[in-house]
């Protein structure tokens, strides 16, 4: 297994690896063969621009202490929660989507023993959950919700199987009217899995949507690399254009281009080559867009999404060759962007993307991207390393396969061991990060 991985990586390194770092890790039989990011490129492909400027270098932070999880909103037992966010209207209310089709408002101090929770939108009548990955998968409040009452939702529907992105309106009673639905976009889904499901508004005011490769296994239709389909992509659309369900922003990267198969490229696509980018997050401080892309059989990955970026699937799975299994660098288009961090299935089975911590309660976590694994429940903090250029696998089992590998210039720490199934995270407007679980319950981090 290790030898195979090294062969894969060496082949890739010959094609477009940054070089010595990856080769060195392969020469050491005790080291993670996936340590270092074989295809990572700091410079995106021509015509591809980062969406945001990184913060200036900051002094090194102490390693985050191992943290504990503390139950919050203890009066509320979420049923298969998929997303949490605060409504940006000054009320402080937090909302959680439940996979069967309910949006729940939670009112009260997170640490208090008692509070209020109530269903403010129920769309179980149009949501299908026949497959584990189907359901009410995401929502996003319009930045102007306090004026216009608009919330956007993403759910799975049947007959025909499809993903629906639509909009509901807030009524005077503080509930969203289920009859107010306005369809924004429907995407045909060949299979019930790999639906993506994230909705979020960027700092530019556009709506970003994550879509998986359509499902099945291995992306046999090649949707990930096909710019003529919306599948396997992050989309960016304008939901404020008058008279149309949505418009394509004029500065999207593939507008007017032709896909490799000769068909028109879809202008909605912001980035592609993704397998199942279940959760996305904008760093509220830098505007950088983070994605966690769920792997096939071997590798889970975390990516920084840039305009026009190709994240490799199904040529690459994380930083390994996938199709073909060997020498994939020979067939890969130039400029594939490798993960910032990745881990094998020894550590879990399905990455759940989180948020960049910008809260006040835990200074050592500031600026770290917090993410976890659905199966193992481990939660990690990933951040730019003070020692730029040094490979750092700073987990408990550093230097073995039982660690998260990072690209050069990044470091990662396990902050919470796996006690819960973690499908997703949430963030409130003050930058605090919440952990959604199947335990059930919502948690936040506390120092031990
Ligand atoms: Ca699907
Ligand atoms: Ca990838």
Task: Report the Cα 145 to chain-centroid distance in Å.
Answer: 24
CA–centroid distance, 225 to ligand 2, in Å, is 11
> Please, what is the average pLDDT of the chain?
85
CA–centroid distance, 188 to ligand 1, in Å, is 8
Least confident of 49-63, 330-344, 415-429: 49-63
CA–centroid distance, 304 to ligand 1, in Å, is 23
When comparing pLDDT for 291 and 344, which is higher? 291
Alpha-carbon gap, residue 23 to 33, rounded angstroms: 9
CA–centroid distance, 416 to ligand 1, in Å, is 31
Supply angle C-alpha 159, 162, 164, rounded to 5: 115
CA–centroid distance, 120 to ligand 1, in Å, is 27
pLDDT of 411 reads 86
Structure tokens at 181: 């639905």
pLDDT above 50 (res 204): yes
142: domain CATH number is: 2.120.10.30
CA–centroid distance, 308 to ligand 1, in Å, is 23
pLDDT tens per residue, range 51-63: 444 444 444 455 6
Query: At 10, which helix (H) or strand (E)?
Result: helix 2-16
Region at 418 (left for phi over 0; alpha for psi -120 to 50; beta for the rest): beta
pLDDT above 70 (res 199): yes
How sure is the predictor about 240, in pLDDT bands with cuts at 50, 70 and 90?
very high
Task: Report the Cα 144 to chain-centroid distance in Å.
Answer: 24
pTM over 0.95: no
Question: Domain residues for 204?
Answer: 2-447
pLDDT above 90 (res 206): yes
**Can you list the positions of beta strands (E) in 196-259?**
199-201, 207-211, 233-237
Place of tokens 């270092």: 36
CA atoms within 13 A on the CB side of 371: 30
Place of tokens 């993670």: 32
Q: Are strands 233-237 and 433-437 parallel, antiparallel or unpaired?
A: unpaired
pLDDT of 303 reads 97
The answer to whether the CB of 415 falls within 8 A of the CB of 64 is yes
pLDDT tens per residue, range 425-444: 999 999 999 999 998 899 99
CA–centroid distance, 129 to ligand 1, in Å, is 12
Ligand nearest to the CA of 191: 1
Alpha-carbon gap, residue 53 to 385, rounded angstroms: 17
pLDDT above 50 (res 158): yes
Least confident of 17-31, 50-64, 217-231, 284-298: 17-31
pLDDT tens per residue, range 34-43: 223 333 333 3
pLDDT of 287 reads 97
Ligand nearest to the CA of 303: 2
Q: Is 185 helix (H, G, I), strand (E, B) or coil?
A: strand
Ligand nearest to the CA of 131: 1
Section 11-31 average pLDDT: 29
pLDDT tens per residue, range 110-145: 999 999 999 999 999 999 999 999 999 999 999 999
Query: At 369, which helix (H) or strand (E)?
Result: strand 369-373
How sure is the predictor about 64, in pLDDT bands with cuts at 50, 70 and 90?
low
CA–centroid distance, 301 to ligand 2, in Å, is 7
CA–centroid distance, 147 to ligand 2, in Å, is 39
pLDDT of 402 reads 58
Length of the chain: 448
When comparing pLDDT for 370 and 344, which is higher? 370
pLDDT of 63 reads 63
CA–centroid distance, 382 to ligand 2, in Å, is 17
DSSP per-residue letters across 105-150? EEES-TTSS--EEEEEEE-TTT---SSTT-SEEEEEE-TTHHHH-E
When comparing pLDDT for 76 and 409, which is higher? 76
Alpha-carbon gap, residue 349 to 334, rounded angstroms: 29
The answer to whether the CB of 443 falls within 8 A of the CB of 437 is yes
Structure tokens at 203: 């700092």
Ligand nearest to the CA of 294: 2
pLDDT above 50 (res 362): yes
Query: At 16, which helix (H) or strand (E)?
Result: helix 2-16
How sure is the predictor about 399, in pLDDT bands with cuts at 50, 70 and 90?
very low
CA–centroid distance, 384 to ligand 1, in Å, is 34
DSSP code of 442? E
Q: Is 22 helix (H, G, I), strand (E, B) or coil?
A: helix
CA–centroid distance, 425 to ligand 2, in Å, is 21
Ligand nearest to the CA of 320: 2
How many CB atoms within 10 Å of residue 319?
Answer: 28
How many CB atoms within 10 Å of residue 70?
Answer: 15
When comparing pLDDT for 234 and 42, which is higher? 234
DSSP code of 238? B
CA–centroid distance, 323 to ligand 2, in Å, is 12
When comparing pLDDT for 6 and 74, which is higher? 74
CA–centroid distance, 318 to ligand 2, in Å, is 5
CA–centroid distance, 165 to ligand 1, in Å, is 14
Q: How far apart are the first and last CA of the chain?
A: 38
Query: If we measure between CA atoms, which residue out of 187, 193, 334, 311 comes closest to residue 246?
Result: 187
In the chain, pLDDT over 70 holds for what percent of residues?
Answer: 82
CA–centroid distance, 159 to ligand 1, in Å, is 13
Section 260-283 average pLDDT: 98
Place of tokens 């980035």: 271
Least confident of 59-73, 366-380, 419-433: 59-73
pLDDT above 90 (res 395): no
pLDDT of 440 reads 86
Q: How many domains does the chain have?
A: 1
């Amino acid at each position: 297994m290790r030898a195979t991985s090294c062969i894969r990586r060496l082949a890739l390194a010959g094609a477009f690896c940054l070089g010595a770092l990856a080769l060195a890790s392969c020469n050491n039989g005790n080291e993670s063969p996936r340590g270092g990011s074989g295809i990572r490129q700091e410079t995106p492909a021509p015509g591809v621009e980062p969406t945001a400027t990184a913060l200036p270098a900051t002094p090194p932070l102490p390693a985050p202490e191992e943290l504990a999880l503390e139950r919050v909103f203890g009066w509320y037992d979420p049923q298969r929660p998929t997303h949490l966010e605060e409504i940006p209207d000054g009320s402080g209310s937090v909302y959680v989507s439940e996979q069967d089709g309910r949006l729940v408002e939670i009112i009260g101090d997170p640490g208090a023993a008692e509070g209020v929770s109530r269903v403010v939108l129920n769309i179980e009548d149009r949501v299908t959950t026949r497959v584990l990955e189907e359901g009410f998968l995401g929502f996003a409040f319009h930045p102007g919700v306090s004026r216009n009452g608009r919330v956007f939702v993403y759910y799975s529907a049947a007959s025909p199987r499809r993903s629906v992105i639509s909009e509901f309106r807030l009524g005077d009673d503080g509930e969203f009217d289920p009859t107010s639905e306005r369809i924004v976009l429907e995407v045909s889904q060949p299979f019930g899995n790999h639906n993506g499901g994230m909705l979020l508004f960027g700092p530019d005011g556009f709506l970003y949507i994550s879509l998986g490769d359509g499902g099945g296994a291995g992306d046999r239709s090649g949707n990930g690399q096909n710019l003529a389909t919306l599948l396997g992509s992050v989309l960016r659309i304008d939901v404020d254009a008058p008279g149309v369900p949505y418009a394509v922003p004029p500065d999207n990267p593939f507008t007017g281009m032709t896909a490799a198969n000769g068909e028109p490229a879809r202008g909605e696509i912001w980035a592609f080559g993704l397998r199942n980018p279940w959760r996305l997050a904008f760093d509220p401080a830098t505007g950088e867009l983070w994605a966690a892309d769920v792997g096939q059989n071997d590798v889970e990955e975390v990516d920084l999404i840039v305009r026009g970026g190709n994240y490799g699937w199904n040529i690459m799975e994380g930083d390994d060759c996938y199709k073909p299994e060997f020498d994939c660098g020979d067939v890969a288009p130039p400029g594939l962007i490798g993960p910032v961090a990745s881990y094998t299935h020894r550590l879990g089975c399905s990455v759940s993307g989180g948020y960049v911590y910008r809260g006040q309660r835990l200074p050592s976590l500031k600026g770290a991207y917090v993410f976890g694994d659905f199966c193992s429940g481990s939660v990690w903090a990933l951040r730019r390393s003070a020692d730029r250029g040094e490979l750092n696998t700073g987990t408990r089992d550093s230097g073995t396969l039982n660690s998260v590998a990072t690209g050069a210039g990044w470091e990662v720490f396990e902050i919470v061991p796996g006690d819960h199934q973690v499908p997703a995270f949430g963030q409130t407007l003050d930058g605090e990060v919440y952990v959604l679980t199947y335990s059930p319950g919502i948690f936040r981090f506390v120092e031990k």
